[in-house]
Amino acid sequence: MRTYNIHAAKTHLSKLVEEAAQGESFLIAKAGKPMVKVVALKARDSSQNKRFGFMAGQMRVPDDFNTMGAEEIQKLFEGTA
């Protein structure tokens, strides 16, 4: 793996980023000491993106959803169940 000092990395950043995107990772060093490793990100396919509302139309929420089981719940709280 190639190593570049900070000055060289700044000077050739565009070229180095392109190479990293192609899979050519490299290190950036300061005073000869490796500081960071630059690697390509793996972008997800658009088919892998989660879609909001992907089940739209496949489920139905009952009209009485907010009051479903209210009587049973009240009995449980009152201890009369």
Neighbours of 16 (CB within 10 A): 19
80 falls within a domain? no
3-class state of residue 46 by DSSP = helix
Predicted confidence band of residue 57 (pLDDT cuts 50, 70, 90): confident
- d(CA 63, CA 68) in angstroms, rounded, equals 9
- Give residue 16's pLDDT: 95
Tell me the whole-structure pTM to 2 decimals.
0.52
What residues make up the domain containing 30? 2-38
For residue 46 the two structure tokens come to 């658009």
What CATH number corresponds to the domain at position 16? 3.40.1620.10
Q: What is the mean predicted confidence (pLDDT) over 6-31?
A: 95
46 falls within a domain? no
If one counts the domains in the chain, the total is 1
Rg of the chain over Cα atoms, rounded to whole angstroms, equals 29
27 falls within a domain? yes
Predicted confidence band of residue 46 (pLDDT cuts 50, 70, 90): low
- Give residue 8's pLDDT: 96
Q: What percent of the chain has pLDDT over 70?
A: 90
Start-to-end CA distance of the chain, whole Å, equals 71
